[in-house]
């Protein structure tokens, strides 16, 4: 049973966290492309997809700590320092994600007319936020791509440290 739970835990990491890590890292550069006007319409669509990937797979990744706690309790290792550190870093990563997902949503809403507005059932507001050159200038004021990149980087770095702790078990 322990090996089966370990397989489920590792698969949950790969299937659940992998897409969130990649999509959240791609979001800032696509946001920059959407705000500069270089294929802005295509970039807005891509942003909607990336945000949806982050939201859906973030929910799926809840299985990672669930299977992890199951494994830890089976092996009696709940008091080990490396596991406690991993749990704390996992909680911090979840906290970063709590800030990252709404920031992505705000960027989508600032762009207007994109997938977020359509999904929410609100009319597009792209005309309201587009500058004279047809670019969405209000997005830079609403949510900075640099801030999104920072949050995604912190989120990814936390998970890399957790992975190292899980493998090395100091």
| Least confident residue range of 12-16, 27-31, 37-41, 126-130 | 126-130
Per-residue pLDDT tens for 27-50?
999 999 888 876 777 888 899 999
Residue extents of the structural domains in the chain: 2-168
pLDDT at 25: 96
Q: Name the token pair of 40.
A: 């802005």
As a whole number of angstroms, the distance between CA 67 and CA 120 comes to 33
Assess whether pLDDT exceeds 70 at residue 117.
Answer: no
Per-residue pLDDT tens for 50-96?
999 999 999 999 999 999 999 988 887 788 899 999 999 999 999 99
As a whole number of angstroms, the distance between CA 68 and CA 49 comes to 29
User: 60 CB contacts (<8 Å, ≥6 apart)?
Assistant: 12, 15, 16
pLDDT at 115: 44
Assess whether pLDDT exceeds 50 at residue 121.
Answer: no
Look up residue 162 and give its DSSP letter: H
DSSP assignment of 22-75 equals: HHHHHHHHHHHHHHHTTTHHHHHHHHHHHHHHHHHHHHHTTHHHHHHHHHHHHH
Q: State how far Cα 48 lies from the chain centre.
A: 13
**141 band by pLDDT with thresholds 50, 70 and 90:** low
Per-residue pLDDT tens for 152-169?
999 999 999 999 999 998
């Amino acid at each position: 049973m322990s090996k089966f739970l370990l397989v489920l835990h590792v698969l949950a990491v790969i299937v659940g966290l992998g897409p969130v890590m990649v999509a959240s890292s791609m979001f800032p550069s696509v946001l920059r492309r959407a705000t500069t006007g270089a294929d802005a319409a295509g970039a807005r669509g891509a942003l909607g997809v990336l945000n949806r990937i982050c939201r859906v797979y973030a929910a799926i990744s809840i299985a990672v700590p669930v299977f992890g706690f199951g494994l830890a309790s089976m092996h009696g290792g709940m008091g080990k320092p490396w596991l406690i550190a991993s749990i704390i870093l996992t909680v911090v990563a979840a906290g970063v994600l709590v800030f990252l997902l709404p920031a992505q949503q705000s960027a989508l809403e600032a762009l207007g007319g994109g997938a977020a507005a359509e999904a929410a059932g609100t009319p597009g507001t792209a005309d309201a936020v587009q500058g004279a050159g047809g670019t969405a200038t209000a997005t830079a004021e609403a949510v900075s791509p640099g801030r999104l990149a920072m949050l995604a980087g912190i989120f990814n770095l936390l998970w890399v440290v957790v992975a190292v702790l899980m493998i090395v078990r100091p």
